Amino acid sequence: MVHSNLRDCKAWQDIGLPLSTTSNEACKMYDAFLSQWVSWTNDPSLGGIEGCKTRLQAADPDFVMGHVLINGIELTGTGNSIRLDKDLDTAVKKMVGLAKTQGITERERLHVEALDLFSKGYLKGMYSFGLVETNFYDLAEKTAKEGLVLNPCDAWSAHSLAHVYEMRADVNNGLKFMKETENNWKGSDMLACHNYWHWALYHIEKGDYDSALSVYDARVSKSCFETASMLDIIDTSSMLYRLQMEGVNVDNQWKKLARVTKDHAKDQILIFNDAHILMSLFGAKEINTANEVITSLQELSKTPGENYQYQIGKDLGLPICQAIAEFANGNYSRTVDLLNPVRYQIQNIGGSNAQRDVFNLLLIHAALKSDSRDHQKLARCLVLERDAFRPNSPMTERLIRKATALHNVD
């Protein structure tokens, strides 16, 4: 990205998006910051996002849209909140205060209002992204490929296409695509780990656990331990949980991961995050810390106020978290009793269909392991439903064989 191409005050005005600052440098750093954020890539020639953030603040400390960008990237990372971080709380309040005292545009005012609401938990489920999340796989594939034609290094198009292959259980094409395009997206330091997670899921789908663990060790966990970002933590936890349900021993991996996740036991920012933190803590046998997560969510759910996550905590978040606990304790029937009634509501905690599939698998595995014949019958229904939705899935075929074996015993 060339500095001379960055837009100044007049350039933003000319495209109909005026910014309420008189500083050309602030406008240019706003452009640089935003361009890096939407491409999920730090540009070393500009000092990366952090470098642009510093220069943006120095150019105009009271630039409202600058505050929106800086606070926005912090909040949407889901690893922080105004409840936990008083400096962030102060920053959001300052942003709102500046917006009230300056003659900003209506567009800028709406940005401030939206981020203020976001900071208070008005997420109402992390809306899934685009066509693939609404099951328009053919159009999603076409659109993603068009994006890659325009920009082969577009990590988000690559990510979207990875979802298409995942939801179709098109393992071979998924693996081929990831391998052929890896050099294009692996430099996207904010999204690469998640793309590698998708790569590993194809191996798990095939039952090639050694290859999945190789991706985990070389890419997924490596990124997690280097960045400790919440997205990477979720990817590592989810991947190990899937492997564990498949019967793979990942005890050592859990213990190492728990060193990172223990620090987030009392975050309670998103239920989606909490559930994955619990997976890691129970996997590492950190029972006391895991129970603290559930206790904290119980307390916050009693007086949720305006926080959407706490509002859904009692009837949705806690059953999910308690189901994870019961499964870890070998109480499979109780797991089913907790998870089955809410399985059509789980999308409300956020994440993508591919990410939330871990909860579908948890319910199926619990039902298969349950002593209850009703639960075993439920397991057969669930795997047949899965087969109809995702035909030709090697993993589903393995689950069907397990369910059929139970039926034959009956």
- On whether both 172 and 59 belong to a single domain, the answer is no
- On whether both 67 and 172 belong to a single domain, the answer is no
Domain endpoint, select from 98, 119, 140:
119
Domain endpoint, select from 86, 119, 152:
119
Per-residue three-class SS string for 369-399: HCCCHHHHHHHHHHHHHHHHHCCCCHHHHHH
Domain endpoint, select from 119, 142, 170:
119
Judged against a pLDDT cut of 90, whether residue 165 lies above it is answered with yes
- On whether both 148 and 73 belong to a single domain, the answer is no
Tokens of 110: 């709406």
Is 124 domain-assigned? no
Is 66 domain-assigned? yes
- On whether both 195 and 79 belong to a single domain, the answer is no
Is 364 domain-assigned? yes
Mean residue pLDDT across the chain: 92
pLDDT digits (tens, 9 = 90+) for 290-323: 999 999 999 999 999 999 999 999 999 999 999 9
pLDDT digits (tens, 9 = 90+) for 5-25: 899 999 999 999 999 999 999
- Positive or negative torsion for Cα 55, 56, 61, 67: negative
Q: Which amino acid is at 229?
A: S
- On whether both 320 and 200 belong to a single domain, the answer is yes
Least confident of 28-32, 38-42, 78-82: 78-82
pLDDT digits (tens, 9 = 90+) for 59-105: 999 999 999 999 998 887 756 778 788 999 999 999 999 999 999 99
- On whether both 233 and 152 belong to a single domain, the answer is yes
CA distance 147 to 133: 17
CA distance 289 to 160: 35
- On whether both 176 and 211 belong to a single domain, the answer is yes
Predicted pLDDT at 150: 61
- On whether both 89 and 145 belong to a single domain, the answer is no
- On whether both 100 and 142 belong to a single domain, the answer is no
CA distance 4 to 1: 9
Judged against a pLDDT cut of 70, whether residue 120 lies above it is answered with no
Burial class (CB in 10 A: 0-12, 13-18, 19+), 186: middle
Tokens of 364: 């199926």
CATH number at residue 283: 1.25.40
pLDDT digits (tens, 9 = 90+) for 324-375: 999 999 999 999 999 999 999 999 999 999 999 999 999 999 999 999 999 9
What is the number of residues in the chain? 410
Residue 145 phi/psi, 5° resolution?
-65, -35
- On whether both 101 and 137 belong to a single domain, the answer is no
pLDDT category, 410, cuts 50, 70, 90?
A: low
Is 143 domain-assigned? yes
pLDDT digits (tens, 9 = 90+) for 223-269: 999 999 999 999 999 999 999 999 999 999 999 999 999 999 999 99
Total number of domains constituting the chain: 2
Is 339 domain-assigned? yes
Predicted pLDDT at 142: 84
Predicted pLDDT at 308: 94
- On whether both 245 and 333 belong to a single domain, the answer is yes
- On whether both 15 and 71 belong to a single domain, the answer is yes
Judged against a pLDDT cut of 50, whether residue 36 lies above it is answered with yes
Is 125 domain-assigned? no
Expressed as residue numbers, the domain containing 92 is: 3-119
